[in-house]
Each structure stands twice: as C-alpha cells, then as structure tokens.
Amino acid sequence: MNHLDSVSARQQNGALGVSTISFTVCFAVWTIFSIIGLQIKQDLGLSDTAFGLLVATPILTGSVSRIFLGIWTDQYGGRLVYTIVMLATSGAVFLLSTVETYSMMLVAALGVGLAGGSFAVGIAYVSRWFERDRQGTALGIFGMGNVGAAVTNFGAPFLLVAVGWQQTAVIYSIILFCTAILFFLLTKEDPATRQRKQNGEKPNSAWMELEPLRKLQVWRFALYYFFVFGAFVALALWLPRYYVGVYGLDIVTAGMLAAAYALPGSIFRALGGWLSDKFGARAVMYATFVAAVVICFLLSYPATEYSVAGIEGPIDFSIVISLPVFVTLTVFLGFFMSLGKAAVYKHIPVYYPENVGAVGGLVGMIGGLGGFILPISFGIMNDFIGVWTSCFMLLFALVSIALIWMHFTIRRMERAKIGALGQLPELPEMVDIHQPHHNVGPHRAPAATS
C-alpha cells in the first residue's frame, strides 16, 4: 500500500503550513547578523572583511550541517530532527547575547547557523506528505520560509534601536524555542517514516543515503543553487551594509530596503514551484539566469564621472544608479532568484524519493556555502578594490558562467539525442531525449529511475 493512501488533504496542508512557519522563524534567526552585525561592527571597530566573516559564519554551519541533517531526517524522520535542531539553535542564540569578544561571537555564530540546516530537514519532511506531481508546488510553498530574511531585515532594526543587539538576540532565542515546542505538538510523523516503523524496517545506513551523491546531475543542481540561493542569502546579509555605505541611510531604512529585496526572493518561490510543475524546470532556470545576467550587469556598473572635450570647453556628466532604481533592480533580482530556487528543487524528490534528505542536503549545502563565501568575498573586494559595486561584478561573473555552462550542456545533449535507457539524464528536463518511450507532458515529472 502506498504510504500516502491514508493521508488526507487536511493533514498534508497542516504539515506544510506548520513546517513553513517554522522554517520562516529559522531563516529569520539564521540571518540575524545582517542587522545586529552592523552594531557589533561599530562597537568593535571591525573592518569590512571581519564584518563579512561574522555575518557569513552562521551560513557556513547552516550549509555544512544540511547534508548530515538531511541523512538523519531520512533515517529518523523530520519531526524529531526538526525539533532538536530548533531547540539547539535557540540555545546558541541565547549564548550569543552573553559574549563580548569577536572570537567568541564567531563561536556562537557557528551554533546560530544550525537554523539554516533546518532547510534540508523540512524539504525531506514536507516532500513525503505529497504526491509526485504536487511536490514542486509544495516545496515551493515551504521555500517561502526564506521570507524570514525579510522579517529580520524589517523587524530587527526596530528591536536593535529599542533594546540593543544583546536583547534582540534573547528575543529571537525565545521565539525559536517556542516555535520548536509548537512544531512538535502540532505535527505528526511523516507517512513514509511511520509506515517504515510499522513494518519494522530499519533505516538505511548513512553510506546508502550518500550513494546518489555519486551522480553528476546532483552536483550540477548544487552548483546552480550556489547562485540562486547562495547569492540570495549573501545579498540579504550584505545589502544593509551596502545601503548604509553607498547611500548614507540609517540602519532602520537600510533594513527596510533590504527587506524589499528579500521579500520577493521568498514569497514567489511558490510561484516558481508551480511554474516548474507546469512548464518544466529548464524553462524557469533559463528565465532566472538570463534576467540575473542583465540585472547584475546593470548593478555592477560603478558610479562614473566623464569629461568630454566640447566645442566650447569640457562637458562633464556622470552615470550613477539612483536609490529608487537600485531598489527596483534588486527587487527584480530577488524575484527571479526565487523562481530559480524552486526550479532546482523541483526534481529531487522525483528522482531520489528515498534519499531526499541526503540529496537535498548536499544541494542545500553547496548553495549555503555561497551564502558563506560571497559575503566574505564582498568584504575583501571592498577592502582591496575599493569599489562598492564590486560585489555585483562578482555575481555577474558567476551567473554568466552558470548560464553558458547550462546552455552548452543542454545543446550537447540535444545534438547527441542518445542515452542509455534506465540512466538519469544530467538534466531531468532532457528525459524525453534519454527516454523517448516516455510520453510526458510539461507539467508532469517522469517516474524516477535508478
């Protein structure tokens, strides 16, 4: 009997709703340094490089931990693992409020980063509540929890001004602790884990969970996610600093404008899942990368002053991106990133239904490492190059490489038009080339093969 046969729509929606809310809180905690880090930078007199390391440290833990948390979720179930992760993180956030030195803040930040690892847990937990042709939409809705970055960018500045950064951390800790308790009380074991326990089956070993990671297409998705998610997190952390430094805004205004970027980068992820279900993830990825190339190019152009030798003397003019134009471009960038994030994760539960945690964890880990590496890179480039828009120059290079690599790979597969039956294509959207006997519409994913 299929493990979803006895699951009602109410149970599915309940699991999805509670998981999404919990992930929103976790993501808000994960990006807390984007706001309180500005006050810490001022208090300790940190350089941009040291500031970049501070805001990126939680991203490192949240990234590396995803693969292990994903495996444990496959083995022991998401309800238990999710609860433990939130409780452990709440303790780390409270510890943060008690430290005073930069080195100890980095240690506490490592614990705070566990909040980011909750993504791999939630992806595996939610996917097992839904049928294959609804998983793209369900996981897109769950991914809307990225809006937690906007919650922090919008709300934390007011807390920071009112009670200071230490008490802001305490409030975050209490909220996360309460969320963990409510999650455990309001959710049930996912159907697959429950059926496995009822049948007396033992969970797969960690080595068996890691077996799919030998496939190249898993790493390909991971590299795409490095940009669509890693760069999203990096900019959510970096933009408050950018607004303060470039446009001279106060922290509250800078936080609100950064939230304007993070909000569409989160809430439209459900749309990305629906579009991937309907039109295919390849089309969504093309739209994401093409739009991002254009936007990052525009944002990377530094403010420039020109002097032209005119007939009656020098003619001076300048090219600069005004604040309204900059905000608009970042909002559009966040929107397309949200579509791309959903497209990457569309196919993982289709091809690896028994290893969603491990595969999703690896993809999430690589993407999260982008959120760790990029803020540090932004700070280093600021200190050594001295151009504010250098962060967007780096993003332009990254997304250009991703687009070119994806396009030529697909073209090469189209020219070959061959493939051993029973083997996964390097891109799931090319399954009709590799498996011509399948007649699959654009809205329906093919059955998984091994």
The pLDDT assigned to 211 comes to 61
Residue 446's pLDDT band (boundaries 50, 70, 90)? Answer: very low
pLDDT of residue 421 exceeding 50: no
Domain covering 9-434 assigned CATH 2.60.40.650 in the classification: no
Is the CB of residue 313 less than 8 Å from the CB of residue 406? no
pLDDT of residue 447 exceeding 50: no
The pLDDT assigned to 220 comes to 75
418 vs 426: CA distance, rounded Å: 12
Q: If you average pLDDT over each of 306-310, 410-414, 436-440, which comes out highest?
A: 306-310
Q: What length is written for the chain?
A: 450
Q: Which residue has the higher pLDDT, 314 or 179?
A: 179
Query: How many other β-carbons are positioned within 10 Å of the β-carbon of residue 219?
Result: 15
- 276 burial level (CB within 10 Å; 0-12, 13-18, 19+): buried
pLDDT of residue 212 exceeding 70: no
Residue 427's pLDDT band (boundaries 50, 70, 90)? Answer: very low
Task: Point out the least confidently predicted range of 282-291, 335-344, 354-363.
Answer: 354-363
pLDDT of residue 412 exceeding 90: no
The pLDDT assigned to 333 comes to 94
DSSP assignment string, 44-111? HT--HHHHHHHHHHHHHHHHHHHHHHHHHHHHH-HHHHHHHHHHHHHHHHHHHTT--SHHHHHHHHHH
Question: Looking at residues 423-442, what average pLDDT do you find?
Answer: 42
The pLDDT assigned to 25 comes to 95
pLDDT in tens, 158-203: 898 898 889 999 999 999 999 999 999 998 887 877 777 776 666 5
Backbone phi, psi, residue 353, to 5°? -65, -25
Of 422, 435, 448, which Cα lies nearest the Cα of 135? 448
CA dihedral for 10, 147, 445, 425, sign (positive or negative): negative
Is the CB of residue 232 less than 8 Å from the CB of residue 146? yes
Q: Give CA angle at 135 (131, 140), nearest 5°.
A: 155
Q: What is the token pair recorded at 122?
A: 């939630």
Of 194, 154, 153, 187, which Cα lies nearest the Cα of 20? 187
210 vs 159: CA distance, rounded Å: 42
Task: Point out the least confidently predicted range of 93-102, 167-176, 230-239, 340-349.
Answer: 340-349
Segments making up each domain of the chain, as ranges: 9-434
pLDDT of residue 356 exceeding 70: no
pLDDT in tens, 357-401: 667 777 777 887 888 889 888 988 888 888 888 999 999 999 998
Residue 418's pLDDT band (boundaries 50, 70, 90)? Answer: very low
Question: Looking at residues 232-236, what average pLDDT do you find?
Answer: 86
End-to-end CA separation in angstroms for the chain = 21
pLDDT of residue 3 exceeding 80: no
Task: Tell me what percent of the residues of the chain surpass a pLDDT of 90.
Answer: 24
Average pLDDT of the chain to the nearest whole number: 81
Identity of residue 320: V
In a 3-state reduction of DSSP, which class is residue 336?
Answer: helix
391 vs 448: CA distance, rounded Å: 39
Residue 419's pLDDT band (boundaries 50, 70, 90)? Answer: very low
Is the CB of residue 138 less than 8 Å from the CB of residue 16? yes
Residue 298's pLDDT band (boundaries 50, 70, 90)? Answer: very high
3-state helix, strand, coil in the chain (%, to 5): 75, 5, 20
Task: Tell me what percent of the residues of the chain surpass a pLDDT of 70.
Answer: 83
The pLDDT assigned to 119 comes to 85
pLDDT in tens, 27-75: 999 888 888 888 888 888 888 888 888 888 888 888 888 878 888 887 8
Backbone phi, psi, residue 180, to 5°? -60, -45
Identity of residue 351: Y
The pLDDT assigned to 74 comes to 78
Identity of residue 425: P
The pLDDT assigned to 368 comes to 78
